[in-house]
Structures are given as C-alpha cells and as structure tokens.
Structure 1
Amino acid sequence: MHLHCLCYTSPVWLSTEIDGIRIISGRTLDFFQRLPDEVFNVFDLLSSTPGAKLYSAYMDYKYENQMSEMLLNQLKSSRSTNGLEEAVKECISAASNEHDPSIQKILLKAALFGRAFLCVNLNNPKNSIRPTVSLINDLCTNVIRDLRLINNLQHINISMPITYKQFELIGSRILIDRLLRRNLHEFATSVTKLLRMPPEEGENRILVQWAVQELVDDEARLIAKQDELEKKLYNVQLKGLSLVDTLEILLINFEKDADTLRKDFNVNDKRYWWIKIQAYAKKNAWTQLLEFGKKPTSPIGYEPFVDVCIRSQKLDEARRFADRSIYSSKLDDERLPFIFAKVQMVDEAINSAIKLKSIEALNFIEAKCHLSEVNLTKIRQSRDKIQDYDDNPLKNVFKIFNRGNRADE
C-alpha cells in the first residue's frame, strides 16, 4: 500500500463535503476524496465496462489503431441494447467527477466519439433501429457547460474551487449569492448568461445588488474624505452631508479642496458647473459668480447663470450673463429668445425668436414679458408668417435645397 504524507507548518482546518474533505492551511487548500467509481471503472486496465471500452476505442482511433473498430463492434453487438449509450454516459459521468481539465477533455472527446456512432449500426447499415440520442445530446451540452464554469471558478481571480457534485447540490442561485458576497458582480453576470438563468433570478438581481454596493462604497469613501478634510480645515462640519452639499461648502473658501474632491469622485464638467453656480448663488457670492462666468466657454451654456440670478432677484446680474450668451456658448443658440425674455430684454428676445422662426419662443415671450402694443403686434404678425410658412407645401423643397447648398459649402 502506498502512503502519502502531508506536512503542514501551520495549523489546519478540516471541512467535510458531500464528496470529500477540505484541508485548509494558512497558505494552501487541499481536497481529498475517495476515487469515484465512475473514474475507476473507465481507467482501470482490467475493466470491461462499456465506458472503459469506449475510452480505449477512442484512444485507439486517436492513434490510428484498428482495435478501435473492434471495440465499437463489441459495444454495438453487446447483449445490452444500450451498450454504446451506456458507454457514452459513463465517460460523461467520469469527466464530471474528474478535477483535471486535461483529463476531462479526453473523457468528453471519448463520449462525443461514441455519440457519433449512436445512430449507426456498424454491422448492418440498413437496420432501422436507432437509439434515442436527444437525452445524450442534452447531457453532453449541460456537462460541458457546467465543467467550463467549475474550472473558471478555480481561477486565482475567483478562488472558489467546488466539485461537480457540490455544484449540483447548491445550485446556480446559491452560487450567484456566494459570488455577490465576494463582490464578483461582473463574473456573476457572465455566469447567469452562461446558465441562461431568468433575468429576475439572475442579471436583474445582480444589477440591483451591484448598484447598492457601489452606493455603499462611494458613501464610505465620502465619509473617509470628509473626516480627512475636517482635520485639515478647522471649523468645517462635513460629515453626514451629501457629495453635492460638501462641494458647495468647499467651493466658497476652499476651492482647491473642492477640485480635488471632484476629481476623486469623477464629477463631470456639466454637473460641477451646476454645483458651482448654485453654491455661489446660495452664498450671495455674486462677484465670484461673475468671475466664474467670464470663462471662455460653459459646458452648460449661460442660461443656468441667468436662472440662479433671477431666483435671487438679481436681474442686473442676470442681464450680464444674457449678453454673454450671445457670443460665448453655442449651447445657447436656440435658447437666446428664452434667455432674453427671462431678463425682460424684449426687443432682443423678439428679434432672436423671429430669426429662429420659433413659434414656441414667441409664445414664451408673450407670456413672460411686459409688452407694448407695438411689440405685441410684431409678435402676432411674425407668428402668422411662420405658421403660413409651415403650412406651405413647398417648404420641404426649400429645406432640401438649403441642405444641399450647405453640403456644397
């Protein structure tokens, strides 16, 4: 009898499984089990089981040995009507009980080799009797899929070694739960796709937990950052505030720290500009807002500047940004009539609305501005002309012609 001795330099833990025992040390994880009968019956040199014969037939075929045909004939002509079918099942079962991927591959190839002859009678091609292969096909597909998953679980990035029997026992749902507890959301999603799990049990559930975990992680990072800033900046209370509120406080007197926090949390330009102008407006920092508004381009246009000024009843400040919107941001091109109307620049609003041929803008001006009879008449006449133009069937022809001219330019 051959004895194998294992030596460990640190304490070990033993964990029983349905098909073996795990030995866990500080550095290694070993798994011991009794050699499964399915594997023994296929590889035993003296074995005469259908699985052993099919495995030998495949190996002979692989090395171009004529014994392969003789072994296949024995399987087909055996007294058992399902000799070859049993052989295929035994090879598949042996592969599922094997832990080495290279041996799994050989056994599965042997099974697929036998499956190819299930519908062929080697002794009498005209025989109409055909064994049922649909169940074998499904079995092959499922085992190959599951073994691919189990082998991937053993990868160092996942480190969740389980056997085929253990996977059958826990099922796909518990496996997904274990992956989620390790924050392996992306891998868990690929598992649900491989196993074709229903969305409500698989992908949807993962996405919800993934989102929750991301929020928790971001909140933890924010609390740590707030604690760091409170130690650095005296008389500033930040804990318990949201990211937006924290940025608004820092933007008034600690703008460099606000910029650093913004980069740490990947706040994009548009959102940061919104936060910044709202922070200045809340603190009545109109000088800082004006200086900030002098930057060459705004990713959100200048209408938000106008809106925060109007909400604070700073009409003169709002008009400054309305003037800047004429030449500083292309984002405001179609919003110019609305911007001018908000700050009661009536003539500019009407002229820009007529230029854009916008009935919506004219209606907005009429509703929001204090108009004289002259301006009111001008709006109504312009609106009628635009409506007549829209009702003209030749309008689309002119549009196509204009597009063609622009393309040529």
Structure 2
Amino acid sequence: MASANWTPLGTEYYEKLEMYQLDWGDQIELSKFTVAAAQYGGPIALLKDDSNTPNVRPMLTVFTSAGKILSQLRWNSGKIKKLGWSYTEELLCVQDDGTVLVYDLSLNFLRQFSMGQETKETKVHDVRIFSSYKGTGIAVLTTSYRIFIVNSIDDLRIRKLEIPGADSAPTAWDIITMDGQSQALVAKRNELYLVDHGGQYQKQDIDLSQTEEAIVDMAISINNRYIALFSEKQVIWIGTADFKKKCDFKPKTSKKPTQLVWCGSGAVVALWDKLMLVIGRDQQYFYFNNDAAVHLVEEEDGVRIVGRDSVEFLRKVPQVTEQIFKIASMEPGAMLFEASREFDKQSQRADEYIRTVKDQLETAVSQCIQAAGHEYEPSKQRRLLKAATFGKCFLTDYNPEPFVNMCQMLRVLNQVRQPPIGIPLTYTQLERLTMPTLIDRLVNRKYFYLAIRICQYLKLPEAEGASRILAHWACYKVQSKGEDDEQVARAIADKLGDTPGVSYSDVANKALEVGRNDLAIRLLDNEPKAALQVPLLMKMKRENIALNKAIDSGDTDLIYFVLLHLKDALPKGEFFMAIRQLPVAYALYIQYCRQQSPALMEQLYDQEENHQEVATCKVMGSFKQERLEDRVAVLNEAKDSFTKAKNDFAAKQVEDQMKLLRYQRLLEEELQMPCQELSLHETIHKLMVTRNHKMAEQLRKEFKVPEKRYWWLRVDALAQSADWVELDKFSKSKKPLLGMEAFVDACMKYDAKMEARKYIPRVSPEKKVYCLIKTGLLREAAEVAFENRSEEELNKVLRACSTQDRTVEDQVRAYKQQLGAAVRK
C-alpha cells in the first residue's frame, strides 16, 4: 500500500524515500568530515578533519549525491571556516582571513576574492552562505562582531552591518531575505534584532517561555517566511518571519542540535547525532533513529538526508498524492486509479468506479498526472500515468498537452536520477530550477551526450540546446591531454561542422588559454567570420596570418585594425617590408597616411625610392610651412625629386612656384599687399584691382600668361574696381581678344547694369539677345529676336519674363504667331 510508510504530523503526512545506496559504502564516517551539499540534488563536498595529525594537509573530495567521486584535492591553502555551494554549483571555500576561493566540480581553481581588509585583519568568527535575490551571497561575522555581507559572489559589493552590543558575540545569527534585501537576524541572548545595510536595527518582540533564556541556534525556511529558534533551555520556538504566529516545543534532550533545518515550510527538523526529530508548526512531532551520523540538506520541498551508506529524502506528502492514496479517499483521482486497477484485472467494478466520477473525470485525470510527477519510483509513475490514460479514453475534447509534458519531464528526471549521474531532483525542484539550468548542470558534469539527447527530445532551439552544448564539449575537448593537435582539431570539426550558434573562435580561445597555440590556429581555419578570427590571431602574435585573413574578408575596418596594430608592434622597416607585398593593405595604409600622417607616407615612398610620390608629398607638405624660406626649401627638394623621377614638366612647375613666391614676397614688401597664399592668376588679378597694371604686365610676361586669359583677368579686375573709363578704353583696343559679351558679363557680375548696356550695341548679333535679356531689356530683346526670325530666341525672352512683364509676354506671343503664319505660307 502506497501510504504504508506515511507518518502523520497533525493533519499532514510525511514520508521518507530512499534515493541511493551510496557508492562510498561504509568508508565514510560523516562525523569526521566537514560536509557541504548543494541544493537541488547537487554534489557533496567532504573535507577530512586531520587536525590531530600534524603536518598533514586535509583532503577535499567532491562526490555526486549517489556517492560517486568526482574529484579530489589536497588542501594547501589557509584554514577553512566554511564550505558551501553557489547556485551554479561552484564550491566556495571561505578561509579564516575572509578570502573566498572558488572551484568548479572538478576542483579546478576559478577565482578568489576577499570579504574586505577589516575581515582579513580581525579574522572570521562564523560564516553563512545563503541564496539572495541576486544569486548566492556570503556573510561573515568577524571576531570584532561585525557582519560583512555580499548579496552576490558575481557582484562584489561588500556591506558592513553593525550589530547592537558589539562587545560580545551573538549567541545565534542568520541571514534572511525580505522585501528585496538581505538582512541579518541576530540574537544577543534573549534579545532578537533585525539589522539592515543602512546600519539600522529593529528589536523584535518575541515571547519565549522563559524570558531570561538565550537563543543559541536558529533556522530560516527557504522561502524566508518561517523561523525556528532554539534556546539554551532546550525550547524550540517555531513561528512566522513577522514573529506573530508561534508555538513552543521542548524536546527531551539537554544538548544543542548539531543541525536545525526546515523541511519545506511545514516542519522543523532537529538533529542530535543519530536522533532526528521532526516538529510541526502545531507542536506535533515524530522522530527517527539513524544507525550512524547523518547530514541534512535543506531542499525546496523537503530534506535530503546524507548518511553513511545511503541517501534518503524526507518530505511532506504532496496534497495530490494524499488525495489519491489516502485510505478511503473518495477524490476523483483515487476513483480513477482504482478503476484502472480493476480494469487490469478485467473486473466489472472498473465501470462502477468510472461512473462514480464521470462528471469529474477531467479533474481525476489531472490529479493522476500531477501525482505521477511527485512519485520517485518509475513503477508508481507508470501506474498513475496508466490510470490517466485510461481516464482520457472517456473524454471527447481532452487537451493532451499536460499529459505529454509530464511524460517528458518524468523521462528526463528518471534519467538524471540514475546512480551513475546522481542528481536526485524532484518534480517540484525541477520546476524551480528550470530545464535550461538542469542542462547546464549536466554539461558541467561532462554529460554532453545526455544533455544533447534531452535537448533533442524536448525539441529545444539549437542555439539554446545542442549548439551550446557542442560548444562546451569542444572547449572541454581542447583541454584533454594525450591527443595531438591535428586529431583534436579534426574531431572537433567533424562533430561541430557548420552547426549554427557555435563559434570556433571561442573554442580556439579556450585552446589558447591552455597553451595549445597550434591547435587554436587549426580551429580558427573553420571560423567563417574574419572579425572573430583576426583578434585571436593577433593575440597569438600571428599578425601576418591575421592580416591575410582581414584582406580576404574585404572588411576595410578590420584591415586597418591589423595595420595599426602592426605599425605599433613592429620596427618601421619591418612593417614597411611586410605591407609592401600586399597591394590591398599597402593601398589602404597609404590612404590612411594621406589623411592622418603625410610625413609617414613620405617616409614610405622614400624607402621605396619612389621619387615621383616623394616629390608630390613634399609639394603638399610645403603648404604647411609658415616661413617663406622653409616653403622654398621644401619646394626645392620637391624639384630635385621630380628631376630624379624624370618629370621635367612637374620640376618646371615647382620652379615657377618658387619664383612666384619670391615675387609675392617682393610685392608684400613694396606694395604692402598680402598675397603669399594666392595663385599666379589671383596675384595678377589683385594687382589689377589695386591698379598696379605695370606690375601685373610684368608678371604676365615673366610667367608667359596667355593673352586671352590675361584679357579675362583684366576685364574682371577693372569691373571689380569700378574703373569704367579704363574698361571702356580697354574694350576699344585695336585687336580685342574677347567679345563685347564678356564686358557685359563683367559689368553685370558687379551689378553695373547701366555700364553693361553701353556695350550692347557692339555685341555680335548672335549674342545680342542674350545680353539684352541679361541687362533686363526684354522688349528690345524680343524685337531683335523677331528681326532675327528666331523662335528659339523668342522662347528665351518668354522664359525670362516675370509677372510684371505681361506686355512683353503678349508681344512675344504675337511675334511667334507672325513667325508661325509666315512659315505656313
């Protein structure tokens, strides 16, 4: 009968399930070890107490919950005050100087941190490792009776809690998480205080049976809603976290319990050597006598009991299980379960049971499914699921999803509970832990194949499931010894292939961390993203390979990233030699230098004896020289370089530029006319504007400026200086090289409309309409266009008309009609 091993506790029932016969047999006597077991069926760490054996370092051993050894380490650091586990199953070793050493399941050192300088100086008196709203936290009580606390070992923000009466040690203390913050619950004999991070504390009103008795131990439930206190008069006080509801219980013992923990939130378990007392919140109790010392592990829904040769689990019987298996239960699930059993016997009573719950059949099926999830033995699970299947047959619109989900969860749970794996999770714990976290724990234990099969079975996305696990497997593979790099790289490539979500660069980085550089390079050959390859190759000092990979990718930013690193890392000569052989890299570097460092570009060309480009760089550099002598000196060097490059034209142009600079200096000295940054044409133009026509003519002859260009400059300069008389004289030269429309344009450029109209009579017929329009003489332009019989010119006049020129528009349209009539005739 399923309820045969149930033990009543008030109106509730408790049961003790056997999970494993431990692999370590009777070799372990727990009373001689410091024990730390992780929640959610996690591993067990044992530290042998060798204090009586001089010069012998204690042995630290990690086992699975089934007693299978995972790793061992001879402890050679400081004195350990507390062992504990983080939520991610990292082993936390807190030393007496406040240093916390963190290890993985294989006892590989991960990191360490300190709880502060004051802790180091005053030493640690006691430690609590707890679950906070941010993860796993640590609190230490120093010998100066101050508490230092971090709410997360991954976010080290140490806070100091000042407890009242710091002249004496607390008689008991623990950490409680309330309202999103962790607070210390501190007992100073019979007074109880709640201390927060701000240094504030509140004295709690608590009704002890004897007002003078000191509180010497306490336990806080996992959900932080209930508290148990043990007084020096052997009274156990049980109540809520707000200290309103309570009961007192006095066990028949004169000793302080070795452990005081909560079994879920319904009962307190007190342990004295081999006696284990279970006390309800209404003073009911029962007890067990163990054969040897045990260790209690507080879980979400019960207590895991680690003994010398077995692991058991004490829990409150789930309500749905009680509804089905309680004697004389009339619940729908109980009726359906009995109907299924009678059906297997081919008994007509099955029909009677089904008829009894025909209106509650869906509830009955749901109860059987839920009860199956809470069962630990597969045979009981099968019986309950079979009953649920039997009940489904009578439902026409039943949703099968809850049944399917439960079957999947139970199949996963039964696999991880197997002794070789040793994770004795319950369904309640799995709901709280979540499936992704369980998969992470399998990966941490190196059960890669099982983790992948679970992901495939549950049809999890590749990125969250198989791909991620394969990446972890590959990182583990590169750390294995005994295989050469080529074999490992081939095995990883064959297994991973083109699996989406797997980064070969991450695996290669892991290989680099363990000193396998050649393996890392082989792995990077499979990485499709150059942006992930290149930084790692540079980290390995393989800059040439990194540069080639960057060039092949076509990513200019990536190429520049490598080039600038090489420029800083290599001597200048070696760097130039390296990039000269790569045209793309060379061209990009030249472009970079042109914008950022012209001097460096000149050095590069000079090393290559590229005189043409060296000369170009010097010409560009000359414009940055402020002193004339320096500019001329640089230009002279540029001339020599052009000569070496056999570019006589460029050399002559540089020579003319030096000559112009000297002339400009002379002009500045004689005429007080700044013109140092002007070109030849601008200089001549400025001389004309200032009416230094003789000097302008001298420059024209010296630099052989073409006459037509000189005319353009003079016409523009005379118009700019408003020297209309001289402009008119110039227009009447014997051999004008420009048409009169040039004079019209120059006058209009400087808003001299009346001056511009003076030249219109002398404009050639084909340009006259253009000039009349430009000077605003639209009516005259229309008449000339009509005389020229040009419809195109008439259209130009029409486009130039504005709303004020209606009369002209009408005239133009009339001219166009006349022209059109003449054509038709």
Larger-gyration structure (1/2): 2
Query: Which category of TM-score, normalised to the shorter sequence, fits these structures?
Result: 0.3 to 0.5
TM-score normalized by the length of structure 1: 0.48
Structure 1 or 2: more strand by fraction = 2
After TM superposition, the score normalised by the length of structure 2 is 0.24
More helix by share: 1
